[in-house]
Structure 1
């Protein structure tokens, strides 16, 4: 639901406990601060991972989304909401389902630890966001597979908020295209997510949980009946689940889903189905009769997770031994096989998301230690120690000293392959992260992508820190899933405390709207200006529908010579967007004060000046202000306010000028008016807490954080603006009034 109409009390009332039916749940400790000897704050890491999932939210953002530089996007998708997959803007039901299942598993297993760390409510909200999308993709006899146009998505680089603006401009449709598929792997993953969601929410929200369970049953039935990955749709290009064309492609997901169904329902038939239909086809090691114990848990191979769940559900020793073989393979080796290692200690499976695999396997090792091997002290010590080493590698325990968890540690990679967090406005990303600032391209990232786990190092321990090295610098919801679940186990063992002042409200590091100009031509009867109106917004990226700017000029010399403003004519010249809806109009002179007048250039549609590409982030216009040629030696632009500092020439002559002012409606957003007014003048707008001269959801979020934690700093004028009922105090009633005011 739209965040501005959500009840304000949801921000301050804690959610009740969630009971789980998972067998062999470990009795968790009550630690909430880091133990001595643990140099990393795993509570902070979990808090920031929740932030990453909020960055990935598509559609109308909920009121609890705390990312100050995100706003609504792709609102008209056939299934709203969900998580963008990675650094792009496609949505896959497969990876949403996989990620939601793993996140749910971490919460089911280590619920008490998450609650004790104060992150339970946040975790539940973020999990439900993903689960609700998965539920929405269930069509009964088919499922929604992919939402988005991959041909466009992977050639355009920009922010989610203006994605549809560019897509439609390039001939795309709104809503975006989607496909319907029956791929067993995808459908079974969705069934697992729904069953895990039921376990999490059955006591918390019985009605929601029952809905999840109904979806789980329907989806499992469809997956089991179909038993084919032939029908994948667009996802096959990116998440190909059909490798061999045999039962091995999907049997692991059916085995996995059946175990989740058993845990959700307690019905023996699901375990019986494992014995009769799935286990006989469990993959084997090459040229061996032994069940496959190599590789690792990921979106396309859930066999080892299924084996662990089956061992937990049945207690069968043969499956406990299988899990041990898998974990031995990842550590000291088993059967002559061992995963590769980097020279500095990372268990390295392959080049795509090396840290994703290591941290997900760390989660598996910690669950196994806390459940089926809880009585084996040597095993528990070995695999918990190994799991911690892999997690700590991600936080900086490596030869490069890099924390691959963004926004944590002293040194992060410079580059991250993620469009929205880059804040790029001109669709040019190749120079991002460059050491050398450019006058032509943006080189600095606009935002910190807190909590995102980057792909990780190469096998030799090196790291290719460029955007084009997707294997190293990409981030994804499935990368963070196992990492996040592992953090639940880490805070159970080592504690961890979320930061009280997180997340920060980002402020722009560059002008979001600005004017560049030069003298195009000049004579003793006219001045012709070339101007660029520019939209470089990213906090969040947005389009101003009522965009305009002013050019100020002084007619004192005309008045002294006996002339008036009636003798001044304005003429429009070259307009970059003359063939578009947003064609600019140039007004007749408008009086400002004294002998100062201005012309206002207004865009019919703000879409012609939007942060979506090289041809849209600025709009060029030439206009002329002058008098009749018959009037000689009177026109003198040297006293014109907006003429100040302008020079004549080509592209190199274009300079930023604060003397031409820009407006969002009546609100000044760039420059300084002749009377000295600037956008930085302290706002006294009711509701404007962050003093950005706007009253919007960011102010509501700031007030809620202030009310909850009482550690957020609000300026004196911000406090005055926030006191909606003017009773000289800030409380929940002000928050309610703010929401109602925004909702009109």
Structure 2
């Protein structure tokens, strides 16, 4: 059971240690002068981004008008419901490692800055988002030693540029599997098990004040996953990394590779174990977990001291991120224990990225961005900014180091919001000249499956709140949809950024919008095009294209049909008029069927032919229709003759486009 003291926004262990949480009324959060940016609006929109990433049956509170239910069969072949959760980035794979990390960090912001979330009006959005992710992770953990860590295959998924709502239709037409990958006791994954355990523990703290039953469920999973990770771990920090058992994750979220040649990117799983243990200690107050965190702490990774000498010191030259938790563990341990060792390690890391450490300082762009890694540098800066704010609040504003770390953090977040050499925001739908053409299949709204460079030229949807990867080392950046390094978005990009925004809102304020602007379709979404090939006294022939460019949301039409209405001429009988399709992706026409009086129609039934915005043939189904009369034929008085709009289109018998006859022409 979670202890009742968790109803406060700080952990049991912190209270026991005599430390206090920062809140809007505490000395560390004295409201400052007005900020250049509206942190309340940015925070509000960040949660909209997470709603745009949702998989499965969308909850009633989802505000994204251009999203619909999707991938509802994920996990069914394995006997588990993995339909929920979040898509990782601009693609549609569900990677458990960064998803769990994002949930841990969103929950962390809510645990330590609950009051600021409440004052911003975004506390319910936070809880909704985290619960959606944790419900998925509960399903992904069906027994103590089994954890599903990925749904989908990156190579296969990346071969298709279409909306998530069309993935299962795509799979019906060709080999497009969405396998579910798991770790078990016989083939473990220490890193992902421990990270997921941390997500459960942090989220348990978030929900304890309002839903203790759910919090207890989360905490049970947290304990089991820590035990799973701990009892199946190897010995060198890499040997039981999950990619050894889930090679499909290799090249995407490989914990033994991220960080390049930076000595501070330690590429081991000891930091995940310490991270999991710290969060369990916070959630339970059980000193056993603190002892385990101390055990793992010195194994997390070290590097040569910038001051010279042979002694190594804990890593300091990289940054907090999905694969490098040690930097956050430093700050958590410093605040939980008050011990100098952990404070020293935290300050070495933060000094390296502010004033420098022992003469060495982290790389910066000319415009002031702490440039920790070339791939999505804004997310790295945002995570370190949140650690800096968290630690500064622990020190308090009277401490000489407070403003060093606080001001660094604010500067990094403000860079993303628009205080940069380009004078533009890096957050979609926020601020001045924000990104629009992000590398994101759903937001693009394309119907051609022609890659990021295909039509339309401009994304049809605004992916409000999404933080893009960011500039290169010279502050250069372009809003280029094909740039998946600088202009993609991802679950983990936004999580640390969101928590930092919440903290800054507590200090500087900022009003959210009354509502996030809605969208309306940019034209007809499912409709018919028609070209008349020939029309004379013997009949009419035409090409009809059932066209599906739907994007509000993308939809699959599998029971479509359309009708051609005509009027009998002179003494011609209905039996003398026939219709055929020399070429058709649908069924042969049926009829004629009497509508009223001398008005009849032929029906072309496309049931079973999938029409969806997912490729040149999939979005545009062709029917060649030839109508022949054995009597008189004068199309000038036929309802359907003038334009395609007069060939009404149906979905299962319900009119969805076009016009039915009102009078005979």
When normalised by structure 1's length, the TM-score is: 0.79
CA distance, structure 1, for counterparts of residue 436 and residue 120 of structure 2: 30
CA distance, structure 2, for counterparts of residue 675 and residue 401 of structure 1: 57
Is residue 9–residue 113 contact of structure 2 (8 Å, CA) maintained in 1? no
CA distance, structure 2, for counterparts of residue 33 and residue 381 of structure 1: 13
- Give the equivalent residue in structure 1 for 2:60: 63
- Give the equivalent residue in structure 1 for 2:83: 80
Superposition deviation, residue 217 in structure 1: 1.1
The answer as to 2:637 corresponding to 1:635 is: no
The answer as to 2:389 corresponding to 1:402 is: no
- What is the CA deviation profile of residues 511-548 of structure 1, one whole-angstrom value per residue up to 9, with x for unaligned ones? 11111111223443121111101111111111234312
CA distance, structure 2, for counterparts of residue 584 and residue 384 of structure 1: 67
- Give the equivalent residue in structure 2 for 1:390: 412
Change (3 A) 1:123 1:527: same
- Give the equivalent residue in structure 2 for 1:742: none
- Give the equivalent residue in structure 1 for 2:375: 352
- Give the equivalent residue in structure 2 for 1:241: 255
Superposition deviation, residue 248 in structure 1: 5.7
Is residue 270–residue 299 contact of structure 2 (8 Å, CA) maintained in 1? no
- Give the equivalent residue in structure 2 for 1:374: 396
Change (3 A) 1:25 1:489: farther
CA distance, structure 1, for counterparts of residue 31 and residue 536 of structure 2: 73
- What is the CA deviation profile of residues 456-482 of structure 1, one whole-angstrom value per residue up to 9, with x for unaligned ones? 111111113322211111100000010
Superposition deviation, residue 166 in structure 1: 0.3
Is residue 21–residue 199 contact of structure 1 (8 Å, CA) maintained in 2? yes
Change (3 A) 1:289 1:431: closer
Superposition deviation, residue 59 in structure 1: 1.0
Match of 2:51 among 35, 49, 54: 54
Match runs of 1:172-571 below 5 Å: 172-173=176-177, 176-180=179-183, 182-227=188-233, 228-229=240-241, 230-243=244-257, 249-280=268-299, 282-285=301-304, 288-371=311-394, 373-374=395-396, 376-431=398-453, 441-500=455-514, 502-555=515-568, 558-559=569-570, 562-571=571-580
The answer as to 2:15 corresponding to 1:28 is: no
SS at match of 1:475: coil
The answer as to 2:134 corresponding to 1:131 is: yes
CA distance, structure 1, for counterparts of residue 30 and residue 604 of structure 2: 58
Is residue 34–residue 496 contact of structure 1 (8 Å, CA) maintained in 2? no
Superposition deviation, residue 30 in structure 1: 6.3
- What is the CA deviation profile of residues 718-743 of structure 1, one whole-angstrom value per residue up to 9, with x for unaligned ones? xxxxxxxxxxxxxxxxxxxxxxxxxx
The answer as to 2:153 corresponding to 1:155 is: no
SS at match of 2:272: helix
Superposition deviation, residue 377 in structure 1: 3.6
The answer as to 2:596 corresponding to 1:574 is: no
SS at match of 1:472: coil
Is residue 31–residue 506 contact of structure 2 (8 Å, CA) maintained in 1? no
Is residue 146–residue 182 contact of structure 2 (8 Å, CA) maintained in 1? no
| 163-172 or 302-311, larger mean C-alpha shift | 163-172
- Give the equivalent residue in structure 1 for 2:628: 626
- What is the CA deviation profile of residues 440-461 of structure 1, one whole-angstrom value per residue up to 9, with x for unaligned ones? x433322110111011111111
The answer as to 2:609 corresponding to 1:610 is: no
Change (3 A) 1:522 1:224: same
CA-based RMSD of the aligned residues comes to: 2.6
Is residue 558–residue 611 contact of structure 2 (8 Å, CA) maintained in 1? no
Superposition deviation, residue 288 in structure 1: 4.8
Superposition deviation, residue 176 in structure 1: 4.1
CA distance, structure 2, for counterparts of residue 33 and residue 328 of structure 1: 24
Superposition deviation, residue 29 in structure 1: 2.1
CA distance, structure 2, for counterparts of residue 641 and residue 459 of structure 1: 63
- What is the CA deviation profile of residues 601-647 of structure 1, one whole-angstrom value per residue up to 9, with x for unaligned ones? 22122x4211221221111011111213xx5xx423344343326xx
Q: Which runs of 5+ in 1 are unaligned?
A: 1-15, 433-440, 578-582, 646-656, 678-744
When normalised by structure 2's length, the TM-score is: 0.89
- What is the CA deviation profile of residues 143-181 of structure 1, one whole-angstrom value per residue up to 9, with x for unaligned ones? 2121113232010011111111102321245x7443335
Give the number of aligned pairs: 624
Q: Which runs of 5+ in 2 are unaligned?
A: 1-5, 76-81, 234-239, 259-264
- Give the equivalent residue in structure 2 for 1:702: none
Change (3 A) 1:221 1:177: closer
Superposition deviation, residue 564 in structure 1: 2.8
CA distance, structure 1, for counterparts of residue 458 and residue 257 of structure 2: 40
- Give the equivalent residue in structure 2 for 1:695: none
CA distance, structure 2, for counterparts of residue 224 and residue 129 of structure 1: 27
Superposition deviation, residue 225 in structure 1: 2.0
CA distance, structure 2, for counterparts of residue 517 and residue 86 of structure 1: 38
Is residue 18–residue 202 contact of structure 1 (8 Å, CA) maintained in 2? no
- Give the equivalent residue in structure 2 for 1:704: none
CA distance, structure 1, for counterparts of residue 329 and residue 137 of structure 2: 20
Is residue 30–residue 116 contact of structure 1 (8 Å, CA) maintained in 2? no
Superposition deviation, residue 241 in structure 1: 1.2
Is residue 25–residue 109 contact of structure 1 (8 Å, CA) maintained in 2? no
CA distance, structure 1, for counterparts of residue 254 and residue 22 of structure 2: 39
